[in-house]
Amino acid sequence: MTWSWAAAGFRAIGKDNDSIVTDADTDLLIVGSGFFGLTIAERAATQLGLKATIIERRGHIGGNAYSEIDPETGIEYHKYGAHLFHTSNERVWEYVNQFTSFTNYQHRVYATHNGEVFPLPINLGTVNQFFRAAYGPDEARALIAEQAQELGGKEPENLEEKAISLIGRPLYEAFIKGYTAKQWQTAPTKLSPEIITRLPVRYTYDNHYFKDTHEGLPVDGYTPWLERMADHPNIEVRLNTDFFDESQPLNKTAMAGKVPIVYTGPIDRYFDHTLGALSWRTLDFEKEVKPTGDFQGCAVMNYSDEDVPFTRIHEFRHFHPERDYQTEKTLIMREYSRFAGGGDEPYYPVNTPEDREKLEGYRKLAEAEPNVLFGGRLGTYKYLDMHMAIGSALSRFDNVVRGWFA
């Protein structure tokens, strides 16, 4: 039997709908329907009674957290890569539980290196398997400490040296070097040491990926959760609507300065790249249906070796073992990483020294924009997990948006 979800009460209006929203019809314009924008809209509607209009460039709600059902297998998959919810922020946890309940899923990752599978993050099991040993915690700790002394006290000048100073060369070359080179499309010797501040090695056999108080996946999927956040009579979502497209009425030229705006797109795009384009990484995904009930035995398998072109494979059936998915076929998705070009979807800020210099300039321009709040991963040029985006939105709603309508 295939698994499916029921349609939520949420309804979105497409760009070509005859109903046109003007600046007189809304109290707050929100650009982007990811978690930051949805949280602001929901709070504005329910706490302040405001009419909030969300415009979304894509054809669906939810930004990169969006998920859908694969028609061939009936398996829910995360269209833009695996999204795992976890948090230790009690306010965020209480907030999200208004819209969904969560499974007890705990994320675990494995890595393939030289044809062998190892548990991640690096832990006592990884160390003993890699070195073909039976070290106890103290012996393993002493071994890694010895290997990490290779630089002899020299200040690391690049990512490779920084990683070696943290976990030693053997583990670095096995699990970090190739993966990082693929992820950044740059040799680790040419990447800043600031990219990694720590590479923990656990001296137990625990390979539970996150250490937060709360963890799980939405019981009936991400999209129903996202749609429930927008399911309020004061919230309107307009899909396929580009903020910078002046052929539609809710564009930047028409709306800026006339209605408060929450902007969650790329901050450099808002200012027409006046100070130069910030650099981003993007991801490419390759879906494939396999004629088996289980392809790899786990949700995520990293591929550490540089001669494998993709960074990891997701097998989405393993995110929800409680569901009654059919067992004749399974859905996998390979993930590739590269620098984003002009027409690519930005995912992660590269954050070079040149980027940080430009960002400072953009932040000053943002501060001068009246009644515009820049938020989310793209609007702040920061990598934010889902719970961080939601927590930031709750805080900015209290400290900024409320003040606009006080």
Rounded Cα–Cα distance for residues 190 and 255 (Å):
43
Q: Using DSSP, how many helices (H) and how many strands (E) does the chain show?
A: 14, 17
In this structure, the number of other CB atoms found within 10 A of the CB of residue 117 comes to 14
Please give the structure tokens belonging to residue 60.
């669906």
DSSP state of 4: -
Residue 334 falls in the annotated catalytic set: no
Residue 303 falls in the annotated catalytic set: no
| Catalytic position from the list 215, 236, 315, 335 | 335
Rounded Cα–Cα distance for residues 32 and 29 (Å):
10
Burial 233-262, CB ≥16 within 10 A → b, else e: ebbbbbbbbbbeeeebebbbeebbeebbbb
| Catalytic position from the list 312, 317, 377, 396 | 312
Please give the structure tokens belonging to residue 239.
């899909």
Residue 141 falls in the annotated catalytic set: no
In this structure, the number of other CB atoms found within 10 A of the CB of residue 279 comes to 18
Please give the backbone phi and psi of residue 250, each rounded to the nearest 5 degrees, phi first: -95, 50
| Catalytic position from the list 286, 288, 383, 398 | 383
Rounded Cα–Cα distance for residues 378 and 260 (Å):
19
Residue 286 falls in the annotated catalytic set: no
Residue type, 59: G
Residue 383 falls in the annotated catalytic set: yes
Residue 281 falls in the annotated catalytic set: yes
Largest CA distance in the chain: 71
288 burial via Cβ count (<10 Å: 0-12, 13-18, 19+): exposed
Nearest partner of 9 among 142, 123, 99, judged by Cα? 99
| Catalytic position from the list 66, 76, 202, 236 | 202
Instruction: Tell me the β-bridge partners of 332.
Output: 288, 315
| Catalytic position from the list 169, 209, 385, 402 | 385
| Catalytic position from the list 238, 281, 317, 377 | 281
| Catalytic position from the list 16, 198, 307, 367 | 198
CA angle 74, 80, 85 (to 5 degrees): 85
Residue 11 falls in the annotated catalytic set: no
Active site residues: 198, 202, 281, 312, 335, 383, 385
